[in-house]
Chain A
Amino acid sequence: MKGYTGRILKIDLTSGKSFTRTFDESYVRKYLGGQGFAVELVYHGVPKGTDALDPKNVLAMSGGAFNGFPIGTASKVAWASKSPATGTLAESIMGGSIGPELKHAGYDALEIVGKASAPSYIYIEDDTVDIRDAGDLWGKDTRVVPETLKMRHGWDVKVACIGVAGEKLSKIAGIDCDDRQAGRAGLGAVMGSKNLKAIVVRGTKDLVPHDPKAVLRLAYQYQRIYQAAGSWVEDTKYGTGEFLGWVNKERGVFPTRNWQESVFNEREKIDPYYWATRYVTKNKACFSCTKPCGKLFEVKDGKFKGVAIDGIEYETLYSLGAACGNADVESVARANELCDLLGIDTISAGVTVGFAMELFQRGIITEKETGVNLAWSNASDAVPQMIELMGNRKGFGDVLADGVKVAAKRIGKGSERYAIHTKGLEPPAYDVRGMKGHGLAYMTSTRGACHLRAGFYAPELVGKFWKWEGIDRFSAVGKGPMVATMENFMCVYDSVGLCKFSRGFYLIAKLPEVLEAITGLKFTEDELLKIGERIHNMKGNFNAREGVTRKDWLLPPRILEDPIPEGVSKGHKISVEEMNLMLDDYMKARNWTSDGVPTPEKLKDLGID
């Protein structure tokens, strides 16, 4: 079994001790790597009923099976834990160099439990594992921390860290590495609850593939395929926001002003087709990716002068832009920078600010409580101001710092009606009223509203994907089995560590060849999809055990009651009947009970205990 290190490092922060355990081929055949390993560690490591911020919660991290090898876009690192935002087993995926570096240090995965007695950071250099004092780093932002640690330990170390928001246990806090974030589901707060500010990794060991020549050949082959694709040019020029204009105008599903509208009339101002030439000064990429969607966005003058970020991504253009009615792209960039520095998820943060702005519009909250003028017309100033308050838990920011679900509970006065989330996680930039299968995916996603657990936006917006054609995005019929299959597919993707932007190139068909070149292990497509199914079922079973069942999956009132008011998707919503039809279909396809609990037969079939 080449390509793997065969070792998992467990660190107990309470006792300060670390342990290494080994695994063999059977473990790989069951869980593959990346998300599979991370989910397995949380699934078997977290006792029933553990609070997400309790020391007993497990924070796991693992680089995908392709991580560390020169396969284009194979940079994805999976983090997993019980989420403080949703109470479910949530994974959060980042593009970063810490996964490959951990492999070079000799570990495929990292499992962190316990709680340090004082602010600390973990230092891993090959076989040396230390827990060190982070008193001087506490309170510092996600750029100062890695810089300080690199000065201390050398430029070659890789640093994952949390910002102030994670320290303050914000349920929307993320983990940062190399200006890339594992933002979703509040895993930054789990790290903060363990008094863990940063993880520093340095690895110097060899990673030996089964067939080096084949790895090099496949790497070159896929690189040529990426470069020949139209999307390569678009992504390289404009980043992930390249299809914003199309989603907005041709599909009419770009959620605006807290989902009151689905077409952003001022989209030219935030569309990268219009701003790329003015603000982008350099292309940026994740580790081992030759399809650079990262943009160095620099503001050279004006009130936001000095802003420099890796962005702005499509999702952030929605959350800190359209969702807040913010058409000032420099303000979006500043708010994005603040999110990154303070360590909060841009999607959750933006949706939460947009939610507060709608409450402001309706007079449910006023400037007296908020301290900031949250009128849509003041978005350019209000959004960055509010983000700063949220990250630091100051003033009204403290009310919003844990996302919309908690904020609505704190504010009361009927504000729940305007809180857009499923399972407590704020949704990404696709208005599911105009893409119903994706609406199902928001419900079934084990970590709450997410576009990438099933990635179902692509099949529905384009109308075809993989083995399906002629998909009607306005229909609820037949979506259950498709979403279930796509979820399994995506679990495989996160386990091999490929970026989902390359899923159209590899699909599942090409993965066995690459896996064999790296590991020497033969897999069939069906075996891989079964691994994906196993991973999803483990998450589903964990969630059911924690009491999160169908009743908690449901779509928010806005999607069920308010039709889209204008644009090409005008008049569409997901009715309660459609919602239930899709959920019933899905449960059947999964062989789960109608409440969303995996059946004993299913678990036995997949070998889950």
Chain B
Amino acid sequence: MTKMLVPYPENCTGCRMCEMVCSIYHEGKVNHADARLQVHRRNVKLDFPSVCTHCVSCGDECCMLRCPVEAIKKKDGVVYVDQELCTACGECVEVCPFGVMRMEEKAFNCDLCGGHPTCVNFCPMHALMYEEPKPERYEQVKRLLAPEE
């Protein structure tokens, strides 16, 4: 099975290094809104990352299903936005259960850096791992995200 990003909230220190390196790797600049993943710092007890699960754990809240122009596709297990077709309507951003479908001129999401995720390289705490997908971890993050949704 294709490896995916797996979040381990209990290991996250809330430093947001992963967001910055993601943004700088993909865009050559730092903007947390450009990061393909998010770190949430809620209070002294709770920091956690949320990542794109590439369909593993989204169920009906699916960007591919919601996209009115079928611009969101999947290849070798990796979800991507066809930039030619995207109309920037924002439906996918709205539906994403992890809040990691992003939008500037067009929608974009995590591309796993072609198989060597930069964020994982920069996380010495193992709060992000690149391994077999773990649906229970994705569900955990969904629960943590729930209070503010």
Beta-carbon contact of A284 and B14 below 8 Å: yes
Inter-chain CB contacts under 8 Å: number: 100
CB distance from B37 to the nearest CB of A (A): 14
Cross-chain contact A220 with B17 (CB below 8 angstroms): no
Q: What separation, in Å, do the CA atoms of A298 and B25 have in the docked complex?
A: 37
Q: Which of B28-36, B49-57, B69-77, B78-86 contacts its partner?
A: B28-36
Binary CB contact string for chain B from 33 to 45 against chain A (1 if under 8 A, 0 otherwise): 1100000111111
A475 close to chain B: CB less than 8 A: no
Interface size of B by Cβ–Cβ distance < 8 Å?
A: 32
* Stretch of B60-68, B90-98, B121-129, B130-138 at the chain-chain interface: B121-129
**Residues in A neighbouring B105, C-beta threshold 8 A:** none
Size class of the A contact interface (CB-based, 8 Å): 35 or more
Residues of B within 8 A of A97 (CB): 16, 41
Contacts A143-B43, A287-B15 hold; do A223 and B124 have CB atoms under 8 A apart?
yes
A219 interface contact, C-beta 8 A: yes
Contacts of B121 in A (CB 8 A): 220
Question: Judging by beta carbons under 8 Å apart, are B122 and A215 in contact?
Answer: no
On whether the beta carbons of A70 and B13 are closer than 8 Å, the reply is no
List, in ascending order, chain B residues with CB within 8 A of A309's CB.
44
Q: Which residues of B contact A155 (CB under 8 A)?
A: 40, 42, 148
* Contact among A178, A232, A283, A290 with B122 in the assembled complex (CB-CB below 8 Å): A290
Among B20, B31, B44, B118, which residue has the most Cβ atoms of chain A within 10 A?
B44
Bound complex: CA A97 to CA B31 (Å): 14
- Whether A147 and B15, one on each chain, are in contact in the complex, defined by CB atoms closer than 8 angstroms, is no
User: Which residues of B are found within 8 Å of A281, using beta-carbon distances?
Assistant: 45
Give the nearest-CB partner of B20 in chain A: A70
Q: Top 4 A-B pairs ranked by shortest CB distance?
A: A285-B13, A70-B20, A212-B28, A285-B15
Contact between A283 and B31 (Cβ–Cβ < 8 Å)? Answer: no
Name the contact of B13 in the complex, choosing from A212, A220, A292 (C-beta under 8 A).
A292
Known contacts A308-B44, A310-B44; A285 and B14 CB within 8 A of each other: yes
* Contact yes or no, B17 A216, CB < 8 A: no
A316 to chain B, nearest CB (A): 15
A68 interface residue per 8 A CB criterion: yes
A308 to B46: give the CA distance in the assembly, Å: 11
- Report chain A residues within 8 Å CB of B32: 104, 156
- Report B-chain residues with C-beta under 8 Å of the C-beta of A286: 15
**In the complex, B88 has a CB within 8 A of chain A:** no
Complex-state Cα separation, A215 to B24, whole angstroms: 9
Closest-CB distance, B141 to chain A (whole angstroms): 15
CB–CB B31/A296 < 8 A: no
| B:84-125 near A, CB below 8 Å | 118, 121-125
Looking at the assembled complex, report how far the CB atom of B129 sits from the nearest CB atom of chain A, in whole angstroms: 15
- A208-B14 in contact given A143-B44, A308-B45 (Cβ < 8 Å): no
